[in-house]
């Protein structure tokens, strides 16, 4: 759905911007919730909510009924608490001892990936006269963070001894759930079940179990367990080419700019740094105020495309820090015409997968790479569009 120009009453606003449909994000969450049935849904909003804007997206997820939020860093979680969000927040990343008082003051849920870290958390909570909320992290085959599945009983035993820690959850993370071959993902799930059987064998209540990321949600319904953690799926984008979308989700983000300058480039006159593009005939060229300083990859030089007046046009020459040049050939464009870098215009669409293919990367990086200097504009589609605000990326 096109965005009304009423969203941008201030013409002094930078024309290069990201538009985020909060209504679509809420609908994506509901589609995921319907798909996973009784499992809870933790909305993953790390990395500036995959480029969509941490605080506004987190508020929308809470409004739409997320059971919790997931972030990578303490700093992300603190920003959310300072923004008034009281929903449970799990921090996935590792922790330093000096950070523990901050975690506890903000009532954040910590990841305990080892006996040593669990003991540190217990000591910090005891010193502050409080109880820390913790999820135990099990490495079932990612080799990134967490105690190995074959050593996990030590951590689970230790979690029964600590006195100032409440173990709310236990989790792992898939390495290959977005692949066509799911044998490794199923092996990870089997290992996770073996670890969690510790509780049943001792007639103990089992903490909340979770392992399903976006790909697990789509491809491994048996992995949904007590809680799922949608990341890129929440933003309406497929985890990989091998893992297509099977839910009624849709992208909520568009990246746009406008034509800032028009010229005719003569034959034999190269364009941009390094003179890597030159035409043998006159062409119409426009300059667009976006570049790798905004997160528009330099790797898109001479490869990327944009939409102008509903038509695809290629980037000519190298992407500059703040600008790109676009070859219209003999097409038409005028100053302030809308340029779509990511999203739809007319019948055409440029997807995160398109940008990723042209740049030789993945859609996750395309979204999270959009720089904080690009303003975010928020609106909501519910049969009509309503402008909410223009905010910096965080």
* CATH number for 273: 2.40.37.10
Phi, psi of 175 (to 5 degrees): -95, -25
**pLDDT value for 14:** 87
Active site annotation includes 273: yes
Whether 358 maps to a domain, the answer reads no
71 with 101, same domain: the answer is yes
Query: What is the number of residues in the chain?
Result: 394
Residue 10's pLDDT is: 59
- Across 293-304, average pLDDT: 98
Domain boundary among 350, 368, 387: 350
Residues 227 and 321 in one domain: no
pLDDT in tens, 203-242: 999 999 999 999 999 999 999 999 999 999 999 999 999 9
Residues 209 and 345 in one domain: no
Q: Is the dihedral of CA 179, 182, 186, 187 positive or negative?
A: negative
Is 385 among the domain residues? Answer: no
Of 327, 214, 328, 304, the C-alpha closest to 255 is 304
Burial class (CB in 10 A: 0-12, 13-18, 19+), 17: buried
pLDDT band at 382 (very low <50, low <70, confident <90, very high): confident
Q: What percent of the chain has pLDDT over 70?
A: 94
Higher-scoring residue by pLDDT: 354, 389: 354
Q: What's the rounded mean pLDDT across residues 97-118?
A: 98
| Neighbour tally for 146: CB within 10 Å | 22
Residues 75 and 183 in one domain: yes
Question: What average pLDDT does the segment 62-82 reach?
Answer: 98
Residue 12 inside a domain? The answer is no
pTM of the complete model: 0.93
Q: 48-62, pLDDT tens digit by residue?
A: 999 999 999 999 999
What's residue 3's pLDDT?
Answer: 38
Instruction: Provide, rounded to the nearest whole percent, the portion of the chain with pLDDT above 90.
Output: 92
99 and 26: one domain? yes
Residue 84 confidence (pLDDT) above 70: yes
Residue 59 and residue 160 in one domain: yes
Residue tagged active-site, from 150, 261, 273, 334: 273
Q: Tell me: do 164 and 259 sit in the same domain.
A: no
- 198 found inside a domain: yes
What pLDDT does 13 receive? 78
- Does residue 126 lie within any of the structural domains? yes
Same domain, 66 and 177: yes
CATH number, domain with residue 121: 3.20.20.10
Separation between Cα atoms, residue 111 and residue 180, nearest integer Å: 30
Domain end among 235, 264, 282: 235
Digit-coded pLDDT (tens) for 246-255: 999 999 999 9
Domain-ending residue, one of 201, 235, 269: 235
138 is a domain residue? yes
Token pair belonging to 249: 């989700």
Query: In terms of domains, do 215 and 72 share one?
Result: yes
β pairing state of 40-44 and 208-212: unpaired
Tokens 């905004």 — which residue? 294
Residue 231 included in any domain: yes
Q: Tell me how far apart the alpha carbons of residues 98 and 319 are, in angstroms, rounded to a whole number.
A: 42
Task: Report the C-alpha gap between 222 and 70 in whole angstroms.
Answer: 21
- Is residue 12 very low, low, confident or very high in pLDDT (cuts 50, 70, 90)? confident
Could you tell me the two tokens for 128? 């502050």
User: 292 an active-site residue?
Assistant: no
Write down the mean pLDDT value for the chain.
94
Burial 250-286 (b: 16+ CB within 10 A, else e): ebbbbbbbbbbeeeebeeeeebbeeeebebeeebbbb
Are 135 and 265 in the same domain? no
Is the confidence at residue 70, as pLDDT, over 60? yes
| 163 and 217 inside one domain | yes
235 within 8 A of 28, measured Cβ to Cβ: yes
Domain tally for the chain? 2
pLDDT band (50, 70, 90) for residue 390:
very low
Question: Any idea which of 157-161, 227-231, 338-342, 380-384 has the lowest mean pLDDT?
Answer: 380-384
Neighbours of 54 (CB within 10 A): 23
Q: In the structure, what pLDDT confidence band is assigned to residue 383 with cuts at 50, 70 and 90?
A: very low
Residue 343 belongs to some domain of the structure: yes
Same structural domain, 215 and 272: no
46, 117, 137, 256: the catalytic one is 46
Q: Tell me the pLDDT tens digit for each residue of 258-277.
A: 999 999 999 999 999 999 99
What residues make up the domain containing 306?
253-350
């Amino acid at each position: 759905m096109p965005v009304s120009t009423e969203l941008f009453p201030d013409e002094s606003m930078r024309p290069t911007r990201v538009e985020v449909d909060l209504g679509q994000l809420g609908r994506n969450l509901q589609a995921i919730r319907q798909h996973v049935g009784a499992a809870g849904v933790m909305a993953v909003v790390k990395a500036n909510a995959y480029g969509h804007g941490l605080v506004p997206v987190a508020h929308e997820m809470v409004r739409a009924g997320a059971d919790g939020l997931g972030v990578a860093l303490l700093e992300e979680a603190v920003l959310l608490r300072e923004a008034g969000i009281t929903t449970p927040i799990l921090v996935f990343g590792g922790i330093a001892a000096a950070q523990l008082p901050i975690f506890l003051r903000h009532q954040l849920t910590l990841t305990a990936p080892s006996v040593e870290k669990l003991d540190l958390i217990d000591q910090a909570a005891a010193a502050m006269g409080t109880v820390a909320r913790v999820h135990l992290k099990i490495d079932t085959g990612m080799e990134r963070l967490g105690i190995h599945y074959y050593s996990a009983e030590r951590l689970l035993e230790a979690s029964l001894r600590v006195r100032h820690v409440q173990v709310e959850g236990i989790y792992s993370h898939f390495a290959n759930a977005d692949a066509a071959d799911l044998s490794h993902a199923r092996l990870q799930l089997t290992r996770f079940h073996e670890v969690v059987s510790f509780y049943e064998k001792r007639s103990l209540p089992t903490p909340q179990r979770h392992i399903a990321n976006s790909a697990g949600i789509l491809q491994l319904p048996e992995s949904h367990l007590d809680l799922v953690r949608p990341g890129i799926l929440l933003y309406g984008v497929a985890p990989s080419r091998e893992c297509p979308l099977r839910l009624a989700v849709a992208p909520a983000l568009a990246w746009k700019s406008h034509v800032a300058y028009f010229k005719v480039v003569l034959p034999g006159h190269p364009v941009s740094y390094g003179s890597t593009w030159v035409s043998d005939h006159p062409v119409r060229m426009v300059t667009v105020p976006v570049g790798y300083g905004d997160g528009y990859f330099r790797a898109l030089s001479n490869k990327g495309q944009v939409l102008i007046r509903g038509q695809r046009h290629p980037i000519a020459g190298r992407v500059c820090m703040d600008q790109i040049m676009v070859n219209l050939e003999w097409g038409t464009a005028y100053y302030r015409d809308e340029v779509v870098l990511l999203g739809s215009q007319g019948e055409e669409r440029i997807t995160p997968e398109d940008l990723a293919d042209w740049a030789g990367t993945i859609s996750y990086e395309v979204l999270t790479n959009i720089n904080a200097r690009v303003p975010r504009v928020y609106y909501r589609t519910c049969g009509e569009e309503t402008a909410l605000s223009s905010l910096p990326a965080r």
